[in-house]
């Protein structure tokens, strides 16, 4: 059965951007109804889920021995199947106002996945969604969803290039005629940037900081090139004497810390351009490259990529939501976009 059909009138189908850092959910006819961190806290004794989303993220690095706060997604794919299923179940339930109707007619779900995902990883996503209450599961490639979300004419015989920098992956794709012509997917994203900052503080300041502190540093003063002399006060644990202390770091240090993951993104973009057919490359010269995903918000990153390629590069208006908004457009007009959906065959 295709995604369209009369039964669409009787169900609240759902689009999900199941991200490493955040999960966003759209309900057909309502738009984005949920935007929460992809974090779950669990009671280690009973195995019971305590909190999901924002409240669970607040627990990261702050729990005692009987509580575990985990991020079940890593590098854009499922790292913990059971916890992901519990997280999806909670998010799908929150997204549905009529719980009684959802039990009678379970929703069909579109989930965005990295373009470089394996067949095993695809099945893991499908199985998690089905166990979480989905009647039928469709997958859509993140770059295609992002392209649809920003209104690119992906059904035309012209090249459109999208760079989607998420929490766990960077997806680079050239799209034409409702398909991906060339793709490059690397497991480098916002998480690796945070880890690079943590390593820098540990090496240069002999101090340990947590993931959330590193993320705040990236958001507040992170950049791809020095832009000001702004500083950030960091609180962590001294590696020498083991006591808490405060240290100030400046933007130039953060730029230096982020060089490695940024260079990997630059190299991936260059590789993607090398693989692009000449005719489509000409289209990209004329139209430029669109950047999306939370990582595209890093100060100066668009300019760094522009200088590396000599091509016009633009950050889309709503980079954090472009993928889920693209999946939502598919929900709103399934007949038009049915060709770009993937449905896994059972084995």
190-205 vs 211-221: helix axis angle to the nearest 10?
100
pTM greater than 0.85 (yes/no): yes
Strand order in the sheet with 207-208: 207-208, 231-238, 244-250
Name the more confident of 128 and 305: 305
Nearby residues of 241 by Cβ (< 8 Å), 6 or more positions away: none
**Helix H or strand E segment including 274:** helix 259-274
Model pLDDT, residue 184: 94
Per-residue pLDDT band for 345 (boundaries 50, 70, 90) equals low
Domains and CATH numbers, the chain: 6-37+76-144+322-340 (3.30.420.40), 153-188+263-315 (3.30.420.40), 190-259 (3.90.640.10)
Q: How many helices (H) and strands (E) does the chain have?
A: 13, 18
Strand residues in 142-190 grouped as ranges (E): 160-165, 170-176, 179-186
The values of phi and psi at residue 180, to 5°, are -90, 120
pLDDT tens per residue, range 42-81: 998 888 889 999 999 999 888 888 898 999 999 888 898 8
Asked if residue 6 has pLDDT above 50, the reply is no
Model pLDDT, residue 261: 97
Whole-angstrom Cα distance, residue 68 to residue 41?
Answer: 5
Nearest to 17 by CA among 296, 299, 291, 330: 330
| CA within 13 Å, CB half, 5 | 8
pLDDT tens per residue, range 126-169: 998 998 888 889 999 999 999 999 999 999 999 999 999 999 99
Asked if residue 206 has pLDDT above 90, the reply is yes
Asked if residue 244 has pLDDT above 70, the reply is yes
Model pLDDT, residue 148: 95
Least confident of 88-97, 144-153, 263-272, 315-324: 88-97
C-alpha pair distances (Å), 213 with each of 6, 197, 235, 279, 300 = 49, 9, 8, 45, 21
Nearest to 111 by CA among 94, 96, 91: 91
pLDDT tens per residue, range 269-298: 999 999 999 999 999 999 999 999 999 999
């Amino acid at each position: 059965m295709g995604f369209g059909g009369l039964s669409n009138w009787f169900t609240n189908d759902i689009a999900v951007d199941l991200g490493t850092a955040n999960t966003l959910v759209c309900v057909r006819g309502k738009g984005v109804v949920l935007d929460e961190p992809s974090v779950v806290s669990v009671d280690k004794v009973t195995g019971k889920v305590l909190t999901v989303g924002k409240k669970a993220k607040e627990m990261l690095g702050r729990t005692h021995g009987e509580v575990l706060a985990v991020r079940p997604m890593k590098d854009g794919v499922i790292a913990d199947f059971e916890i992901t299923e519990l997280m999806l179940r909670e998010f799908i339930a929150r997204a549905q106002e009529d719980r009684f109707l959802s039990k009678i007619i379970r929703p069909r779900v579109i989930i965005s996945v990295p373009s470089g995902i394996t067949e095993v990883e695809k099945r893991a996503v499908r199985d998690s969604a089905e166990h979480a209450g989905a009647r039928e599961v469709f997958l859509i490639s993140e770059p295609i969803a992002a392209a649809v979300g920003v209104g690119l004419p992906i059904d035309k015989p012209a090249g459109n290039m999208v760079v989607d920098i998420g929490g766990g992956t960077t997806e680079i794709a050239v799209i034409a005629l409702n398909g991906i012509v060339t793709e490059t997917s690397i497991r480098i994203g916002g998480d690796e940037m945070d880890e690079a900052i943590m390593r820098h503080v540990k090496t240069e300041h002999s101090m340990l900081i947590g993931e959330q502190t590193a993320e705040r540093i990236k958001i507040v003063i992170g950049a791809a090139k020095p832009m000001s002399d702004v500083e950030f006060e960091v609180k962590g644990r001294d590696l020498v004497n083991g006591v808490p202390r405060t240290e100030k770091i400046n933007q130039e240090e953060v730029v230096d810390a982020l060089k490695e993951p940024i260079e990997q993104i630059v190299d991936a973009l260059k590789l993607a351009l090398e693989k692009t057919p000449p005719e489509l490359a000409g289209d990209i010269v004329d139209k430029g490259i669109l950047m999306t995903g939370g990582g595209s918000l890093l100060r100066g990153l668009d300019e760094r990529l522009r200088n590396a390629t000599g091509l016009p590069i633009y950050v889309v208006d709503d980079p954090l939501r472009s993928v889920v908004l693209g999946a939502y457009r598919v929900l709103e007009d399934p007949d038009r976009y049915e060709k770009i959906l993937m449905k896994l065959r059972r084995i």
